[in-house]
């Protein structure tokens, strides 16, 4: 897409959103229009296909913060009007007059104080339109940047850089540092204790450098945490599942439960504890300077796969003593609600 396209096309009007629309509003408008004009829904409709392409073109610019900032700057420079490379009409100055007056290359329209300045699309006559816009926003040809003949470069923030890192479970719990290779540079990122899988770290100023004195972009790191065979992270809490026998769950017991630091804690399982009940051990989760998480223990009642003759007889006796108790009472009625 050329700079002239940006001058001529109102992407906000294409999506039907105001110029101050936030990212969520832009995305919502795009999705609605994309569904409406999608080729699959309008087979053989050339007009809908063209509209669908225009919608995608507008969204590609407005959904990218850097492109949107540059687009708004170009539109503001031109007042949102259309300019042609030829003579103006109805007393209006042409595109060359505007650019010439901005960059000192002319004195207004021909016949009103000086010659018209023309900008070609490249060649030996001087920088083309793309070169001038490129020098303003960091994309121009060599020789027409911040030190080029225009004498003007708009400060533009550098783009963000994204990266990913996978940490061992203990490192994620305890906190660590990770070295990342980004654009030929080694960057050390401090990872706080208790970071959960999928969380993002933003390192300010570690992305691509800015243009024309603009600030550097950020480095955005997505952290993945390798799974552990016993524990999982839930915020600052550590979760684990502990198996118990039917007798332990029914009669109650006290267990020794391992902790991440290699120690053990005593955990009381009350009589009549059902499978799946969550028991909490305060302060034995992730340790940070600001707060400590808890250890959350899920009780899992284990059903024996084989029974001895005596055990089977004992369970049969237990079942006979429990005869008449309906543990599924009301299930059908609740299902019918």
The tens place of each residue's pLDDT in the chain, 337 residues long, gives: 555 667 788 999 999 999 999 999 999 998 899 889 887 788 888 888 889 889 988 888 899 888 898 888 888 876 544 433 344 443 444 444 444 444 444 444 433 443 333 323 333 334 444 444 444 444 444 433 344 444 456 788 989 999 999 999 999 999 999 888 887 889 999 999 999 999 999 999 998 888 888 899 999 999 999 999 999 999 999 999 999 999 999 999 999 999 988 899 999 999 999 999 999 999 999 999 889 999 999 999 999 889 999 999 998 898 888 777 788 888 888 998 8
Q: Are 160 and 217 in contact (CB under 8 A)?
A: yes
Q: What is the pLDDT, as a whole number, of residue 15?
A: 93
Give pLDDT tens digits for 155-204. 889 899 999 999 999 999 999 998 888 878 899 999 999 999 999 999 99
Please give the structure tokens belonging to residue 18. Answer: 């105001």
Q: Are 245 and 301 in contact (CB under 8 A)?
A: yes
Q: Are 281 and 237 in contact (CB under 8 A)?
A: no
Q: What is the pLDDT, as a whole number, of residue 10?
A: 92
What does the radius of gyration of the chain's CA atoms come to, in whole angstroms? 34
**Cβ within 8 Å of residue 45, ≥6 positions away:** none
Q: Hey, what domains does the chain have and what are their CATH numbers?
A: 3-137 (1.10.287.110), 161-225 (2.60.260.20), 232-321 (2.60.260.20)
Q: What is the pLDDT, as a whole number, of residue 1?
A: 54
Q: What is the pLDDT, as a whole number, of residue 4?
A: 62
* Residue 205, CB-side half-sphere exposure with 13 Å CA sphere: 2
Q: What is the pLDDT, as a whole number, of residue 135?
A: 43
CA distances from 220 to 155, 258, 267 (A): 22, 36, 41
Give pLDDT tens digits for 253-262. 999 999 988 8
Q: Are 275 and 299 in contact (CB under 8 A)?
A: yes
Rounded to 5 degrees, φ, ψ at 5 are -60, -45
CA distances from 276 to 68, 149, 312 (A): 51, 73, 25
């Amino acid at each position: 897409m050329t700079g002239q396209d940006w001058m001529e096309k109102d992407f906000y009007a294409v999506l039907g959103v105001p110029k101050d629309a936030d990212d969520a509003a832009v995305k919502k408008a795009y999705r609605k229009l994309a569904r409406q004009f999608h080729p699959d829904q309008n087979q053989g409709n050339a007009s809908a296909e063209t509209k669908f392409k225009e919608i995608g073109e507008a969204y590609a610019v407005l959904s990218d913060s850097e492109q949107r900032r540059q687009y708004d700057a170009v539109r503001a420079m031109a007042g949102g009007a259309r300019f042609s490379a030829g003579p103006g009409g109805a007393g209006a100055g042409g595109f060359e007059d505007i650019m010439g007056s901005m960059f000192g290359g002319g004195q207004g329209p021909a016949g009103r104080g000086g010659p018209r300045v023309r900008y070609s699309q490249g060649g030996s006559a001087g920088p083309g339109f793309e070169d001038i816009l490129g020098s303003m926003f960091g994309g121009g040809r060599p020789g027409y940047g911040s030190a080029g003949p225009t004498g003007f470069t708009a400060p533009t923030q550098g783009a963000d850089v994204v990266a990913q890192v996978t940490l061992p479970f203990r490192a994620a719990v305890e906190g660590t540092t990770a070295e990342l290779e980004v654009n030929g540079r080694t960057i050390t990122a401090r990872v706080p204790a208790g970071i959960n899988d999928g969380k993002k770290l933003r390192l300010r100023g570690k992305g691509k450098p800015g243009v024309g004195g603009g600030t550097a972009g950020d480095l955005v790191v997505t952290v993945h945490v390798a799974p552990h065979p016993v524990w999982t992270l839930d915020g600052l809490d550590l979760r684990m599942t502990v198996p118990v026998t039917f007798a332990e769950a029914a009669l109650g017991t006290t267990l020794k439960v391992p902790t991440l630091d290699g120690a053990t804690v005593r955990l009381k399982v009350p009589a009549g504890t059902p499978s799946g009940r969550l028991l909490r051990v305060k302060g034995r989760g992730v340790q940070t300077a600001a707060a400590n998480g808890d250890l959350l223990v899920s009780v899992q009642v284990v059903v024996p796969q084989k029974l001895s003759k005596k055990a089977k007889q004992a369970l049969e006796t237990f079942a006979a003593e429990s005869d008449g108790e309906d543990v599924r009472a009301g299930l059908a009625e609740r299902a019918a609600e």
